[in-house]
Chain A
Amino acid sequence: MADTLTIRTPGIATVQDLGRVGRSRYGLPANGAVDQHSARVANVLCGNDEHAPLLEITALDFACVPSADILVAVTGAPADVTVAGVPHPQWEPVPVRAGETLRVTGIRHGLRVYLAVLGSFEAARLQGSCAPDTILGFGPPLREGDELALRASCPPVDHPYSRIPLFRLNAPVPPFPTTVPTTWTIDVTDGPDRAEFGDTGRRLFDAPFTVSPQSNHIGLRLHGSTVPRRVTQGELLSRGVPIGAVEVPAGDELLVLHRGRGVTAGYPVLAVVTATGLSALGQVRPGQTVRFRHRTLDQAVTAHRTQRSAVAALRTRVRTAFDSLRIRAPLGG
């Protein structure tokens, strides 16, 4: 019988990957990990393909128990990670022995934690991805007692010197603001309809916006004291809108589309959240505030490339570390 990872405390957790690409044309949203950077790093820290299935844990405490020795990595929002009661760092590989309980508790500052397992686990796929799609009713939240079939085990990694962290891989950890009230800086570039807003477009950068509880993986609603206003008239035809589109529907609200967004919409797009900004936005909790920062396209592209290069460099360090410890990463790099 295959080894399993049994869910003991599900909280709000789902099986995720980086999403469903190439199906927008058929009206399917991308979905996938809302904080793509943290999800990518979790898999890389386990020597996995970055598209491998992993767990996305949102806000609430989580616990699971493997039936075999495994290696895991926990990334995303700051949290308390323990194995059999012993604290372990995030953003580093962590060995878990068969039967030990891995807990992720006290998620704070941010919203989502990612948990990858060396070799990953079996996951149902739809249209090339295991990412949940709430419209299609695919990928239900995990429940207590659910068992994920592990695709590999990892022999116990014994470090000759106790009390010294096993790994120091220096993964690229994004900033999580810890001030109260918490304000995130989210980078945006001009949207294709920037001109429709005239001078009012600058209001996006004048004051912070508060994230409403009616926010999820499809989009975030934000309230502000002065919102931009469209100064042109006329109905817009529905058209494809990118992930990250900042729309201004009506009232004192902004709508920022995220990975579960419907592929077409009819509101003017004032700005577009950058790729690195979208990962950060995936961590913003309802009630926290967002301050938008204007970037040029070159700045945005450079930031994204820098972040991805850091992940590629991490992959090399992981491979070196795993080789020296004789850990075999089943999915390779």
Chain B
Amino acid sequence: MTSHGPAHAHADVLIADCGDSALVAKAVGLDTEAAWRLVHALADALDAVRLPGVHDVVPAYDALLVEFDCTATDHATVRRVLAHEAARLGPDPAPTTPPRRFLVPVVYGGEHGPDLPTVAAQLGLAESEVVALHSGADLTVRCLGAPAGAPMTDGPAFPRPVPRLASPRTRVDPGSVAVAGRQAVICPMPSPGGWPLLGRTPVRVLDLHSDPITAYRPGDIFRFRPITPDQWDDYADLPLAHCADSADQAGLAACHG
């Protein structure tokens, strides 16, 4: 039975069944960065092919989930196309689109970042040092995660991973800027969350009425920029798209303050 056989390696990708309506392609034998680049390039390639029946692709770190309607296509067809595209891309594909850079204003600490003191204590740093590390480097968006388009970025260069909260919050305010392990995120919508909160951005992360709902995509770069609490209103509800480094001058001016 060739169509639903065991997972097999093709080039640098291992393809496995994931139920009757999905496959998962995992990058193997590559370093973290190359694996991530490969699964995102593979997602782009599959989107471009527009294979009938395939309706969703979810690239994350080292794996790509491909969802399809198994009454409109079958596992063997999707496998074959995935393997073909993986072979065509090779182990080190170039990004399909150049990264954009977003300058994201953040009010750190206080009511907006209630866990800043705890995180500082855990890391053995002053609060100002935590802020300087979080806002002092370009952080690459790795994938868009739950809930709803949350930009999952690399974490700042903290001396060690940040533990999750012992007791998750039942509600995290939209725009909250959080860290955990060696990752960072902005929470776009009110939701429960177990990641420590360092601050909050006043800008509107998602635009639910544009398609896609996010101005950013994996590979783009976030640079957090500290602002004071009394600057909050200057940025309140500004779409994140206006914070792009390459955006129009009005947007740039707004985000540079």
Say yes or no: is A239 at the interface (Cβ < 8 Å to chain B): yes
CB distance from B145 to the nearest CB of A (A): 4
Say yes or no: is B60 at the interface (Cβ < 8 Å to chain A): yes
Asked if B212 contacts A23 (CB within 8 A), the reply is yes
Partner-binding segment picked from A70-78, A93-101, A258-266, A313-321: A258-266
Which residue of chain A lies nearest to B58 when distances are taken between CB atoms in the complex? A240
Asked if B70 contacts A275 (CB within 8 A), the reply is yes
**Hey, which chain A residues are within 8 Å of B61, CB to CB?**
237-239
State which residues 165-197 of A face B: CB under 8 Å.
189-192
Q: How far is the CA of A259 from the CA of B217 in the complex (A)?
A: 24
Q: A230-262: contact bitstring with B at CB < 8 Å (1 yes, 0 no)? A: 000000011111111100000000000000011
CB distance from A242 to the nearest CB of B (A): 4
Asked if B19 contacts A300 (CB within 8 A), the reply is yes
Asked if A305 contacts B70 (CB within 8 A), the reply is yes
Say yes or no: is A298 at the interface (Cβ < 8 Å to chain B): yes
Say yes or no: is A164 at the interface (Cβ < 8 Å to chain B): no
Asked if B212 contacts A137 (CB within 8 A), the reply is no
Asked if B189 contacts A242 (CB within 8 A), the reply is no
Q: Which of A29, A273, A305 contacts B19 (CB 8 A)?
A: A273
Asked if B62 contacts A239 (CB within 8 A), the reply is yes
State which residues 44-94 of B face A: CB under 8 Å.
47, 55-65, 67, 70-71, 74-75
Partner-binding segment picked from B20-28, B102-110, B223-231: B20-28
Say yes or no: is A161 at the interface (Cβ < 8 Å to chain B): no
Asked if A136 contacts B148 (CB within 8 A), the reply is yes
Say yes or no: is B116 at the interface (Cβ < 8 Å to chain A): no
Q: Which of B146, B150, B152 has the most CB of A within 10 A?
A: B146
Asked if A244 contacts B70 (CB within 8 A), the reply is no
- On chain A, which size bracket covers the interface? 35 or more
**Hey, which chain A residues are within 8 Å of B58, CB to CB?**
24-25, 239-240, 263-264
Q: How far is the CA of A308 from the CA of B70 in the complex (A)?
A: 10
CB distance from A226 to the nearest CB of B (A): 24
**Hey, which chain A residues are within 8 Å of B60, CB to CB?**
237-240, 264
- On chain B, which size bracket covers the interface? 35 or more
**Hey, which chain A residues are within 8 Å of B7, CB to CB?**
192
Q: Which of A138, A192, A237, A304 has the most CB of B within 10 A?
A: A192
Asked if B145 contacts A25 (CB within 8 A), the reply is no
CB within 8 Å: A-B pair count: 148
Q: Which of A23, A26, A269 contacts B18 (CB 8 A)?
A: A269
Which residue of chain A lies nearest to B43 when distances are taken between CB atoms in the complex? A25
Asked if A126 contacts B208 (CB within 8 A), the reply is yes
Q: B1-45: contact bitstring with A at CB < 8 Å (1 yes, 0 no)? A: 100100100000000111111101000000000000000000100
Tell me whether A21 and B56 are in contact in the complex, defined as CB-CB below 8 angstroms, given that A238-B61, A265-B146, A300-B19 are known contacts. Answer: yes
Say yes or no: is A156 at the interface (Cβ < 8 Å to chain B): no
Say yes or no: is B177 at the interface (Cβ < 8 Å to chain A): no
**Hey, which chain A residues are within 8 Å of B24, CB to CB?**
192, 239-240
Asked if B145 contacts A263 (CB within 8 A), the reply is yes
Asked if B213 contacts A127 (CB within 8 A), the reply is yes
Say yes or no: is B168 at the interface (Cβ < 8 Å to chain A): no
Q: How far is the CA of A25 from the CA of B75 in the complex (A)?
A: 20
CB distance from A193 to the nearest CB of B (A): 9
**Hey, which chain B residues are within 8 Å of A269, CB to CB?**
18
Q: How far is the CA of A273 from the CA of B19 in the complex (A)?
A: 7
Asked if B149 contacts A26 (CB within 8 A), the reply is yes
Q: How far is the CA of A27 from the CA of B59 in the complex (A)?
A: 10
Which residue of chain B lies nearest to A190 when distances are taken between CB atoms in the complex? B17
CB distance from A136 to the nearest CB of B (A): 6
Tell me whether A25 and B57 are in contact in the complex, defined as CB-CB below 8 angstroms, given that A237-B62, A242-B19, A263-B146 are known contacts. Answer: yes
Say yes or no: is B214 at the interface (Cβ < 8 Å to chain A): yes
Asked if B4 contacts A136 (CB within 8 A), the reply is no
Q: A18-46: contact bitstring with B at CB < 8 Å (1 yes, 0 no)? A: 00011111111110000000000000000
**Hey, which chain A residues are within 8 Å of B146, CB to CB?**
27, 29, 261-265
Q: How far is the CA of A146 from the CA of B115 in the complex (A)?
A: 43
CB distance from B65 to the nearest CB of A (A): 3
Tell me whether A191 and B19 are in contact in the complex, defined as CB-CB below 8 angstroms, given that A27-B146, A239-B63 are known contacts. Answer: yes
Q: How far is the CA of A296 from the CA of B63 in the complex (A)?
A: 23
Closest 10 CB pairs of A and B: A262-B146, A240-B65, A240-B58, A272-B19, A27-B149, A300-B20, A24-B56, A239-B63, A27-B144, A242-B22
Residues of A within 8 A of B (CB): 21-30, 126-128, 133, 135-138, 189-192, 237-245, 261-265, 269, 272-275, 296-298, 300-301, 304-305, 308
Can you report 22 A-B residue pairs in the complex whose CB atoms are below 8 A from each other? A24-B67, A25-B59, A25-B144, A26-B144, A26-B149, A27-B147, A29-B146, A29-B148, A30-B56, A191-B19, A238-B143, A240-B58, A240-B60, A263-B65, A264-B58, A264-B152, A265-B146, A272-B22, A275-B21, A301-B70, A304-B20, A308-B71
